[in-house]
Structure 1
Amino acid sequence: MNRRTLLASAAALALPALLPGARARAQTPATPVPAGETLKVGFIYVGPVGDGGWSYQHDLGRKAIEAEYGDRVETTFIESVPEGADAERALTQLALAGNTLIFATSFGFMDAVINTARKFPNVKFEHATGYKRADNVATYDARFYEGRAVIGTIAGRMTKSNKIGYIGSFPIPEVIQGINSSFIHARKVNPGVEMKVVWAYSWFDPAKEADAAAALIAEGVDVILQHTDSTAPLAKAQEAGVIGFGQASDMANFKPTPRVSSIIDNWAPYYIRRVGQILDGTWTSHGVWLGIGDGEVEIGEITEAVPAEVKAEAEALKAQIASKAYHPFTGPLKKQDGSDWLAEGAVATDEELSSMNFFVEGIAAQIPS
């Protein structure tokens, strides 16, 4: 599947329900779970729960559901589920086991969710980072690019070689947003910064991620950012004496350096809220895209390896984004080919961001087709 083309082609149709203020689909009211009955909730993860990153963080959200609702819920998960036909089999297994709410936590599970939802209309499905919905399928996403702006600022201040590396998973809009946001904000504080990009073509593959980090370090990079799920890039950074950032979870085992801060995906409040809506009968299909101000994207502790003035600058930017006083994609900005994109003071729309398929001016790397 060409993931980037698929997402870009459908984004314009999907966006109205993806925006934070979008209305839920018109549906028949749900039925509350009777007192004394246990709600069964299932999860599928693209990686192992011990990945220390993306799947680990979703599993913390699952555990938060258990802590919140106790014996009113019973949760289960299937880990390391490949995207594709295997995902449909795993979702079907969970539905047949009596789970009436199922969370599918990777973009590539999208078609499997839709196909399985058609077969089980009485089961509610939630799909992370996707855009296809139905009466019994909701989507939820995080504005990761907001966190990238903050760590891009730290990266731009901390680099000594003026070369920052970025390990991308797949060339889809979500990842391209992050590369652009990191570069824009690194260059704002350090106009001499270069951004080098290596694609892993995997969400979770420690060996590939380590190789990507090594390739970047060989090119003179001394700060590494990643949109992949394992701690392998940080381990490689530690060996080489360069710095990096936690991705999806805090990756605190690498503090105070090479991990000098992190982007944390805090799914727990969303999971608790949606399970509560199943229990009280108010669940409806929707699409949401939440960020720093909503508490879904967090910036992990900025360690003492970062100078105090840089920490203060990053925290001030985080506060501006959280309050919506500043948007990370604010003009003037040009596309990589030098053509105008955003005029002075103009802000990118969610539609533009959700179909982003270009780098901004100044990035020399190319987006694979």
Structure 2
Amino acid sequence: MSKFELNRRSLLKTSAAGLLGLSAAGLPRMASAAGLTVGIVYVGPRDDFGWNQAHAVAAAALKEVPGVTVVEEENVPETIAVQKSMESMINLDGAELIFATSFGYYKPFVLDLAAKYPDVQFRHAAPLWTDADPKNAGSYFGYLDQAHYIDGVAAGLSTTTNKLGFVAAKPIGTVLRNINSFLLGAKKVNPNATVQVIFTGEWSMPVREAEAANALVDAGCDVLTCHVDGPKVVIETAEARGIKCCGHNASQAPLAPKGFITGAEYKWATIYKMFANDLTEGKTLPNFTGGGFDLDFVQSTPYGAGATEAAIAAADEARVAVKAGKPIFTGPINKQDGTPLLAAGASLDNYDPSLDQTDYLIEGVIGSIT
């Protein structure tokens, strides 16, 4: 959070309390004068070339919607601080819809405030909402593994060593699903391709990300990608080492003018605009919204100089197929330990619920999740 934002909120809180003769703790919610006010909270900086920037790009698009006011706060940790920030947006800015964009914001902070403010809609960027949670809370999610599959197709035709590298934060379901999909895309066009993964253990740890990226290059990987909050370090390391790369979360194309191939991006603007329009029209928001290419919830970053004509053609063809519903996970596929995941001819729909519970890596991925 910038000093300006801190000072602004302190000033507003003090002034409002003084004018109304109330303590800050007793300050009532102030309704917006007209239209819809939306609050968006980020765990990091809005210009991180990653997770937060992807949401900030959507926020900028939302600001263009007539009648919508957007209030943003960045660098808000996954502590009681986020609850205070969201409550400030409600009480001082009249926010009627809050987008809480970081994984750790949901429990207990979003849930606690949803119970306290039943007339405010809270939506969280991870598939965590359950039927037991408040009905004015919910989840939204983009299935980025579809775009990572396309990255894999392009990477598989861009490698000369057949060794692809993946820097990952934590071995949770979403991350493992992205790694597996990336490999499946690569193997679709290059059966000899492998993916070596190194887990840093944190969503944002630039030093470890640099170490992992360099270790993968030293191991012979000539294309790198990642699943960390801010891919900037991984992409810049790949460019500095003279190899190619694929992006994650937002566009990192400017960081690698020579080696960037393409990237897997969220398109949160689709969801943000949809929710804003629904509320202004008096519609009830869904408690869970998720999708991929078919719903325009994810996208591929425009190709960079690292993409060959063959890679572009194959990736474009694969994207059309996935958008039309062609399964990414088609057998035979074995898990990393050799046990069958899918027999020959079997497949999983791209939205199969079992993929949300991914707790394994598949054969061809080098690296352990334990």
Alpha carbon RMSD of aligned pairs, Å?
1.9
Q: Is the 8 A contact 2:39 2:98 kept in 1?
A: yes
The amino acid of 2:318's aligned partner reads L
Aligned in 2, Cα 1:253/1:35: closer, same or farther, shift over 3 Å?
Answer: closer
Supply the distance in 2 between the matched residues of 1:198 and 1:88 (Cα, whole angstroms).
33
**TM-score between both structures, scaled by the size of structure 1:** 0.85
Structure of larger gyration radius: 2
The amino acid of 2:342's aligned partner reads L
Q: Is the 8 A contact 1:107 1:130 kept in 2?
A: no
**Pairs within 5 Å for 1:193-342:** 193-230=193-230, 231-324=232-325, 326-342=326-342
Return 5+ residue gaps in structure 2 as ranges.
1-30
Query: Offset of 1:54 from its aligned partner?
Result: 1.5
Q: Secondary structure at the match of 1:316?
A: helix
Q: Secondary structure at the match of 1:90?
A: helix
Query: Offset of 1:347 from its aligned partner?
Result: 2.4
Supply the distance in 2 between the matched residues of 1:63 and 1:188 (Cα, whole angstroms).
37
Matching of residue 39 in structure 1 with residue 36 in structure 2 = yes
Query: Offset of 1:304 from its aligned partner?
Result: 4.2
Mean CA deviation greater in 228-237 or 344-353: 344-353
Supply the distance in 1 between the matched residues of 2:72 and 2:165 (Cα, whole angstroms).
34
Matching of residue 77 in structure 1 with residue 79 in structure 2 = no
Q: Is the 8 A contact 1:265 1:298 kept in 2?
A: yes
Supply the distance in 1 between the matched residues of 2:296 and 2:271 (Cα, whole angstroms).
10
Supply the distance in 2 between the matched residues of 1:233 and 1:103 (Cα, whole angstroms).
28
More contact order relative to length (CA 8 Å, sep ≥ 6): 1
Spell out, residue by residue over 1:142-193, the C-alpha distance to the aligned partner (whole angstroms, 9 max, x if none).
1111111111111122112222110112211110000011112212322222
Query: Offset of 1:58 from its aligned partner?
Result: 0.6
Supply the distance in 2 between the matched residues of 1:35 and 1:364 (Cα, whole angstroms).
53
- Report the counterpart of residue 15 of structure 1 in structure 2: none
Return 5+ residue gaps in structure 1 as ranges.
1-33
Matching of residue 355 in structure 1 with residue 352 in structure 2 = no
Supply the distance in 1 between the matched residues of 2:329 and 2:112 (Cα, whole angstroms).
35
Matching of residue 49 in structure 1 with residue 50 in structure 2 = no
Report % sequence identity. 30
Q: Is the 8 A contact 2:169 2:199 kept in 1?
A: yes
Matching of residue 66 in structure 1 with residue 58 in structure 2 = no
- Report the counterpart of residue 369 of structure 2 in structure 1: 367
Matching of residue 110 in structure 1 with residue 111 in structure 2 = no
Supply the distance in 1 between the matched residues of 2:287 and 2:301 (Cα, whole angstroms).
29
Supply the distance in 2 between the matched residues of 1:156 and 1:150 (Cα, whole angstroms).
10
Query: Offset of 1:265 from its aligned partner?
Result: 1.1
Equivalenced residue count is 332
Supply the distance in 2 between the matched residues of 1:248 and 1:228 (Cα, whole angstroms).
9
Query: Offset of 1:38 from its aligned partner?
Result: 3.4
Supply the distance in 2 between the matched residues of 1:229 and 1:177 (Cα, whole angstroms).
16
The amino acid of 2:71's aligned partner reads T
The amino acid of 1:109's aligned partner reads Y
Spell out, residue by residue over 1:313-369, the C-alpha distance to the aligned partner (whole angstroms, 9 max, x if none).
111000000111x1111222111121111122322252210111011123231113x
The amino acid of 1:38's aligned partner reads G
